[in-house]
């Protein structure tokens, strides 16, 4: 064998992104379960329930026919249905031509970043935040700029903080999520409008990750579409509609970006999986079923918000939406990764360390996902109480 062949292919520097640590917790939980131990799973951010029955029925029916490529921007009737959703939920008259169907919101980020930014561009994101924002930006040669959020602003990114960072060195864009992952916090409609106005006045492009819309408990989530036709909105069927594995989402883009995004999608993917598009359109008819599931999350949220302080975890961010509770564990540890590992090994409750989400203060936090059953939420509170009580 040639010496050069033995050495293998050296991966590019831009592919050198960090792993998602939650996967390590999942693997450790699986090892305990293989040994016959019952684990309460609160580590992975996904619903336990399946897609709405309407979506499943539509998918079953579609399996009988050909599943051909679709238009790159998505099946027209699905794009029209998504546009209608903005009228129904938010009173916004949205042109279906601005709706683009994507392979989950994850593909939406890539398409948005590629059409909005050039290599070297600086893009602001809130810290803590969803790790792939940073990692996709880095892989595309952009620079993620972390802006700290604190209790003083209800953990929301503000126009003042954004403009202060822009003055230091110009920003090309900003990405905001409400409800957010990992914090579960939300930004009010007024605060969102003020932030978008500040960004647009300064020429900073605005991306709104609205993937947890529909899962709002504290107050109704506002969409950037109510405020601006220039913002790029990213959304998904993964969370509210319980369709993570179907890999389907959507974007709402300003008119001038639709054709560039279409060209990228044609080349990257041709089109989004047809079966998932058909199921997604039918999912809108399953809202009553999804509302019942949302009520289950609300119950779980109440059980944790009331129960965790009694169990010893009395410091956490306002659990406004999504299905996350972000707890400060600095009273117990300086290393939340170690805390999560011990909580799993000793109390058999799996949660995620904040270090995935916050390179600065993540060692003080852990994230609980309460998208499971009521029994899971109750068992978590009971087990954590016993564990912390016995330390
Ligand atoms: C804030 C946020 N945005 C986007 C995603 C990606 O979701 P998907 O690609 O399934 O739409 C997730 C997944 O957990 C998330 O938490």
**Does ligand 1 have an atom closer than 6 angstroms to the CB of 276?**
no
**Does ligand 1 have an atom closer than 6 angstroms to the CB of 102?**
no
Q: From ligand 1's centre to the CA of 215, what distance in Å?
A: 13
Separation CA 185–CA 343 (nearest Å): 24
Separation CA 279–CA 236 (nearest Å): 13
- pLDDT of 163 reads 98
Helices (H) and strands (E) in the chain, counts: 13, 12
Tell which one of 100, 105, 246, 250 to mutate to probe ligand 1, the residue whose CB is within 8 A of the most ligand atoms: 105
Start-to-end CA span in the chain (Å): 58
- pLDDT of 5 reads 64
pTM of structure: 0.95
**∠ Cα 223 229 235 (to 5°):** 40
Q: What contacts 24+ positions apart, CB below 8 Å, involve 161-169?
A: 162/124, 162/195, 162/198, 162/199, 162/202, 162/204, 163/198, 163/202, 165/124, 166/124, 166/202, 166/204, 169/122
Separation CA 69–CA 13 (nearest Å): 34
Q: Are 303 and 378 in contact (CB under 8 A)?
A: yes
Q: From ligand 1's centre to the CA of 117, what distance in Å?
A: 21
**Does ligand 1 have an atom closer than 6 angstroms to the CB of 70?**
no
- pLDDT of 34 reads 96
**Does ligand 1 have an atom closer than 6 angstroms to the CB of 236?**
yes
Helix (H, G, I), strand (E, B) or coil at 83: helix
**Does ligand 1 have an atom closer than 6 angstroms to the CB of 244?**
yes
Q: Whose CA is nearest to atom 14 of ligand 1?
A: 45
Q: Whose CA is nearest to atom 1 of ligand 1?
A: 181
State pLDDT tens for residues 345-356.
Answer: 999 999 999 998
> DSSP letter at 216?
B
Q: From ligand 1's centre to the CA of 196, what distance in Å?
A: 22
Q: From ligand 1's centre to the CA of 105, what distance in Å?
A: 6
**Does ligand 1 have an atom closer than 6 angstroms to the CB of 181?**
yes
Residue 302, judged by CB atoms within 10 A of its CB (0-12, 13-18, 19+), counts as middle
Separation CA 233–CA 208 (nearest Å): 5
**Does ligand 1 have an atom closer than 6 angstroms to the CB of 274?**
no
**Does ligand 1 have an atom closer than 6 angstroms to the CB of 45?**
yes
Handedness of CA 40, 319, 356, 193 (dihedral sign): positive
Residues 44/41/283/275 CA torsion (nearest 10 deg): 60
Q: From ligand 1's centre to the CA of 151, what distance in Å?
A: 24
Q: From ligand 1's centre to the CA of 65, what distance in Å?
A: 31
Which residues of the chain carry a pLDDT beneath 50? none
Residue 182, judged by CB atoms within 10 A of its CB (0-12, 13-18, 19+), counts as buried
Peptide bond into 182 cis (omega under 30): yes
């Amino acid at each position: 064998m040639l010496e050069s062949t033995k050495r293998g292919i050296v991966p590019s520097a831009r592919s050198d992104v960090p792993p998602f640590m939650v996967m390590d917790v999942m693997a450790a939980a699986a090892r305990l379960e293989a040994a016959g131990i019952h684990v309460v799973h609160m580590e992975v951010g996904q619903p336990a329930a399946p897609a709405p029955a309407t979506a499943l029925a539509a998918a079953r029916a579609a399996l009988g026919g050909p599943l051909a490529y679709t238009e790159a921007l998505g099946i027209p009737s699905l794009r029209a249905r998504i546009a209608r959703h903005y009228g129904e939920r938010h009173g916004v008259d949205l042109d279906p031509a601005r709706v683009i169907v994507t392979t989950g919101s994850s593909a939406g980020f890539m398409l948005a970043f590629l059409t909005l930014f050039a290599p070297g561009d600086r893009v602001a994101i809130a810290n803590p935040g969803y790790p792939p924002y940073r990692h996709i930006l880095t892989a595309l040669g952009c620079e993620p700029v972390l802006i700290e959020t604190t209790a003083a602003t209800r953990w929301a990114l503000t126009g003042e903080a954004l403009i202060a960072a822009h003055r230091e060195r110009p920003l090309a864009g900003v990405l905001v999520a409400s409800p957010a992952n990992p914090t579960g916090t939300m930004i009010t409609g007024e605060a969102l409008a003020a932030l978008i106005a500040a960004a647009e006045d300064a020429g900073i492009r605005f991306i709104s990750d609205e993937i947890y819309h529909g899962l709002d408990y504290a107050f109704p989530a506002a969409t950037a579409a109510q405020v601006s036709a220039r913002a790029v909105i990213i959304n998904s069927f993964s969370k509210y509609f319980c369709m993570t594995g179907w890999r389907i989402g959507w974007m709402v883009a300003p008119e001038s970006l639709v054709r560039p995004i279409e060209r990228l999608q044609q080349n990257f993917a041709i089109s989004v999986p047809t079966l998932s598009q058909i199921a997604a359109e039918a999912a809108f008819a399953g809202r009553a079923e999804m509302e019942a599931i949302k009520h289950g999350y609300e119950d779980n949220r109440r059980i944790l918000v009331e129960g965790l302080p009694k169990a010893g975890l009395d410091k956490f961010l306002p659990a406004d939406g999504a299905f996350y509770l972000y707890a400060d564990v600095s009273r117990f540890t300086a290393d939340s990764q170690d805390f999560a590992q011990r909580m799993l090994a000793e109390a058999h409750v799996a949660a995620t360390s904040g270090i995935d989400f916050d390179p600065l203060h993540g060692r003080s936090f852990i994230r609980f996902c309460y998208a499971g059953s009521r029994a899971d939420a109750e068992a978590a509170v009971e087990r954590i109480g016993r564990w912390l009580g016995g330390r």
